[in-house]
Amino acid sequence: MNRLFHEHLRGDRTIWMVALLLGVVSLLAVYSSIASLAFRQEGHGTLHFLMKHGLMLVCGGAIMYGAHRLKFGVYGRLSQLLLGVTIGLLVLTLLMGTNLNDASRWLRIPLIGQSFQTSDLAKVVLIVFTARAIARHKEAPWTFRDVVLKLMLPIGAVCGTILPANFSTAALLFVVCMAVAFLGGVPLKWIAASVGLAVGAFALLVAVNEAGDLGLLPRVETWRARLENHGSADSDANYQVEHAKIAIASGGLLPNGPGSGTSRNFLPHPYSDMIYAFIIEEYGSLLGGIGLLLLYLILMGRAVRIARFCPKPFGALTALGLSLSLVLQALVNMAVAVNLVPVTGQPLPLVSMGGTSIWFTSLMIGIVLSVSRSVYDEPANQHVEPRSGTAPAAA
């Protein structure tokens, strides 16, 4: 095993193990929860969907492996080249993308016929781009003009084009970018001013859309309904969340075992949006609930450790930003399942059944592993002193 890690799987071993465990959890949970999906789509049994999901995970593993083999500096240069392309794809998605529930989020890849969510690509590109822009600012003091031109314009362009179809993704991405800016040394007063401008622009956009019925925000009624229904006693309006709570209550503290869950027969999307509730039903609150949460927190903890020892500010900010994005997404998914926040539609990273979202999640973890290689594998960095703490270790 040590030889395998040393020769092929480089970087932080704990992150590799977290990714592997999340993949195993995903296979077990998806296989148990897709019976209703297979029933609705006649001609396809559960094995068909399991094999398809397994193939996505295998491809994701290959992407993770390939990404971690590259020097992380490559991603900084690529982000600069891809930012304009990404914004163009987001605009194209709004105009020509596959539409579901007034949300145009997907573009179809012509040759392979696979749809992908352009916001997934945007997350990776924008976080890496933001980390690079901050790292390249060097020691010069930040002015508000610098913040607007170097950070807020690209962040606003990307989040603004995601917003009409996917408010939660746009909001989470904006929060992550602001966190990266704070960690990168951008003065808090300029970050606060930027947040104020963003909130003001959003409020103005909603007001203009409401006054003129322009259709700029086609999902604004959906957002309003989700906010109003959150915590409501109307069980019909909260059907999804109510059944998620029933599934969690049925799980208890200790595992009931794979295949024991019954919520797959009535819980909407038990294999994607509500997979956390289904996992708790089968594996209990201790193993399924807290155990899964700990995996994501371990990922974040390792990213913080990598950032402490990374000799390059760009690498440190990239590892923190990408990991924070994944962990925040996981926390939001879990919070929806336990009815702490309104329904968002955010999948559980690397666990929920999905298509190319698994690939982009794997890419993000692969980039974090690439940064970790600069800490653990390069001889010049073996004795780098952290800002505080002890010497680096790969496991």
> What does the pLDDT look like over 323-355, one tens digit per residue?
999 999 999 999 999 888 888 889 999 999 877
Dihedral pair phi/psi, residue 257, rounded to 5°: 110, 150
Cα separation values, 332 from 148, 160, 342, Å: 28, 21, 9
**Are the C-beta atoms of residues 245 and 125 closer than 8 Å to each other?**
no
Task: Specify whether the CB–CB gap between 190 and 144 falls below 8 A.
Answer: yes
Q: How would you write 159-217 as a 3-class SS string?
A: HHHHCCCCHHHHHHHHHHHHHHHHHCCCCHHHHHHHHHHHHHHHHHHHHHHHHHCCCCC
CB neighbour class for 320 (10 Å; exposed up to 12, middle 13-18, buried from 19): buried
Question: Does residue 4 sit within a domain?
Answer: no
For 8, 31, 35, 277, the CA distances from 264, given in Å and listed in that order, are 39, 11, 7, 10
Contact 53, 46 (CB under 8 A): no
3-state class of 107 per DSSP? strand
287 burial type by CB count under 10 A (0-12 exposed, 13-18 middle, 19+ buried): middle
Question: What SS3 class is residue 354?
Answer: coil
**126, 170 contact by CB (below 8 A):** no
> What mean pLDDT is predicted for residues 232-242?
68
The pLDDT assigned to 333 comes to 94
Rounded Cα gap, residues 41 and 192, in angstroms? 49
Average pLDDT over residues 63-71: 95
Q: How far apart are CA 391 and CA 64, in angstroms?
A: 26
Residue 394 falls inside a structural domain: no
- Both structure tokens of 22: 């999340």
pLDDT digits (tens, 9 = 90+) for 254-300: 888 777 777 777 777 788 888 999 999 999 999 999 999 999 999 99
Contact 165, 91 (CB under 8 A): no
Q: Structurally, how many domains does the chain consist of?
A: 1
Determine phi and psi for 44, rounding to 5 degrees: -125, 120
For residue 386, tell me if it sits in a domain: no
Instruction: Report CA-CA distances (Å) from 119 to 15, 166, 337.
Output: 24, 9, 23
pLDDT for 111 beyond 70: no
Beta bridge partners of 116: 107
Closest alpha carbon to 351 in 9, 28, 17: 28
> Considering the chain, what is the average pLDDT of its residues?
85
| Helix (H) and strand (E) counts in the chain | 16, 3
Residue 274 lies in a domain: yes
The 10 Å Cβ neighbour count of residue 128 is: 27
Residue 6 lies in a domain: no
Q: Quick one: tokens of 335? A: 């919070």
Residue 43, helix vs strand vs coil: coil
- What pTM, to 2 d.p., does this model score? 0.90
- What domain range is 295 assigned to? 13-41+53-381
> CB 324: neighbour CB atoms within 10 A?
22
Give which of 50, 27, 29, 28 is closest to 38, Cα–Cα.
50
**Predicted local confidence at residue 43, as pLDDT:** 56
47 in a domain, yes or no? no
Mean pLDDT of 379-385: 51
Q: What is the pLDDT of residue 392?
A: 43
Domain-located, residue 364? yes
- pLDDT above 50 (res 390): no
User: Residue 365 and residue 367: Cα distance in Å, rounded?
Assistant: 5
The pLDDT of residue 240 is 79
Burial 56-77 (b: 16+ CB within 10 A, else e): bbeebbebbbebbeeebbebbe
Lowest average pLDDT, out of 98-107, 181-190, 353-362, goes to 98-107
Compute the distance between CA of residue 197 and CA of residue 174 in angstroms, rounded to an integer. Answer: 12
Tell whether the model's pLDDT for residue 235 goes beyond 70.
no
Residue predicted with more confidence, 155 or 105: 155
Query: Which of 82-86, 222-226, 335-339 has the lowest average pLDDT?
Result: 222-226
Token code pair at residue 97: 């993308």
Q: Is residue 387 domain-resident?
A: no
